[in-house]
Amino acid sequence: MPQARAVGAEIIIADGSDGGLPADFRATDVVVLRELGASVFRLRAVASAQARGEFVAMTEDHCRVLPGWCEGVIRAHREYPQAAAIGGVVENGATEHLVDWASFFVSNAYSMAPVRSGEAQSLSGQANLSYKRRVVIQDVPARGVMEFLHLRSLRDRGDVLVTDDRLIVEHVQCVDFVATSVMHFHNGRSIAGFLAEGMQTPARLLRAVLCLLRPPVEVLRRVRVLLRKRRFLKEAIASSPCIVWFLLCQLSGECSGYLLGAGSSPQRVP
């Protein structure tokens, strides 16, 4: 909050639970949106749609932005006026347990430093992401918005995506093995549920079958990324059984999502 206040930014907190914020929370320069039971995909989209600034930046409740982040977002958008969206770097802030390292590698290996600044095909996602206001979805669907799908649609229609490696966020998510496994399952089912909307049944069945064949591919992708970045290789090797397991959890969730839809999984993604 001090960073946002220093640059005169609007602060919006979207809360979907009855315990995310104290009931008596009050701050004259903070907008609090409460929608009990809403998924994180809807909460982010609703908050973004209500933002009034020229640039709309977001992160997650389990992330910690580094000093200068707010100022850096503004600077990046000034330097890249053509960019519809700008992402940055996501580093692991939960480093005590191998379970947390494995979960981070599964979800954020692609976004940890080093990343190449400039135009990009994909960005870091909701942990460290900002838009020009003109590309923020205003008519928010009930299911919400999955950021990587919105970014893909922007790219496909010709908008420019940019990565700026000076924008750094720490991802601090520390939960036990069982809870992490469940989290990756629901994340996978949510992703597939969003992707499956509008697909014909044969296409959904094909995607579900392909999920059974993807574990080796996804493991090799993480190995390739980590070798290229040349960081935390000891942690990756030590946590490799968990990495494989969490990828299996995510892919089993995706298989379920293609076959059965997202169900209640979006509401169960933290």
pLDDT exceeds 90 at position 27: no
Q: Is the same domain home to 163 and 197?
A: no
- Overall average pLDDT of the 5-23 stretch: 84
pLDDT at 25: 73
Q: Is the same domain home to 160 and 182?
A: no
Rounded Cα–Cα distance for residues 141 and 3 (Å): 31
Q: Is the same domain home to 59 and 157?
A: yes
Q: Is the same domain home to 133 and 182?
A: no
pLDDT exceeds 90 at position 225: yes
- Overall average pLDDT of the 32-60 stretch: 95
Q: Give the rounded percent of residues in the chain with a pLDDT score beyond 90.
A: 89
pLDDT exceeds 90 at position 183: yes
Q: Is the same domain home to 166 and 189?
A: no
Q: Is the same domain home to 10 and 90?
A: yes
pLDDT exceeds 90 at position 21: no
pLDDT exceeds 80 at position 11: yes
| Residue 169 pLDDT class (50, 70, 90 cuts) | very high
Q: Is the same domain home to 42 and 114?
A: yes
**Looking at per-residue confidence, does 17 or 265 come out higher?**
265
Token pair 């298989």 in the structure block, residue: 255
ω into residue 241 within 30 of 0, thus cis?
no
Q: Count the alpha carbons within 13 Å of 64 in the hemisphere toward its beta carbon.
A: 9
Closest CA to 107 of 119, 117, 99: 99
Token pair 């649609």 in the structure block, residue: 153
**CATH classification of the domain holding 77:** 3.90.550.10
pLDDT at 85: 98
Mean pLDDT of the chain: 95
The conformation of residue 232, written as its DSSP 8-state character, comes to S
What is the tally of structural domains in the chain? Answer: 2
Q: Is the same domain home to 215 and 111?
A: no
Note the pLDDT tens digit of each residue in 199-211.
Answer: 999 999 999 999 9
Range from 20-24, 104-108, 221-225 carrying the lowest mean pLDDT: 20-24
Q: Is the same domain home to 8 and 109?
A: yes
- Overall average pLDDT of the 19-31 stretch: 75
- Overall average pLDDT of the 65-73 stretch: 96
Q: Is the same domain home to 103 and 199?
A: no
Q: Is the same domain home to 87 and 220?
A: no
Supply the pTM of this predicted model: 0.93
Range from 23-32, 55-64, 121-130, 160-169 carrying the lowest mean pLDDT: 23-32
Structure tokens at 187: 């994340």
Domain boundary (105, 136, 171) is at: 171
The b-or-e profile of 27-41 (16+ CB within 10 A means b, else e) is: eeeeeeeeeeebbbb
- Contacting residues for 56 by C-beta, under 8 A, at least 6 apart: 48, 130, 131, 132, 133, 136
Q: How far is CA 19 from CA 106, 179, 207, in A?
A: 28, 19, 37
Q: Give the rounded percent of residues in the chain with a pLDDT score beyond 70.
A: 99
43: domain range? 2-171
Q: Is the same domain home to 28 and 159?
A: yes
Range from 20-34, 81-95, 179-193 carrying the lowest mean pLDDT: 20-34
Domain boundary (134, 149, 171) is at: 171
- Overall average pLDDT of the 194-221 stretch: 96
Note the pLDDT tens digit of each residue in 227-249.
Answer: 999 999 999 999 999 999 999 99
| Residue 267 pLDDT class (50, 70, 90 cuts) | very high
Range from 12-26, 115-129, 255-269 carrying the lowest mean pLDDT: 12-26
Domain boundary (132, 156, 171) is at: 171
Q: How far is CA 173 from CA 93, 100, 103, 244, in A?
A: 7, 7, 9, 19
| Residue 24 pLDDT class (50, 70, 90 cuts) | confident
Note the pLDDT tens digit of each residue in 102-122.
Answer: 999 999 999 999 999 999 999
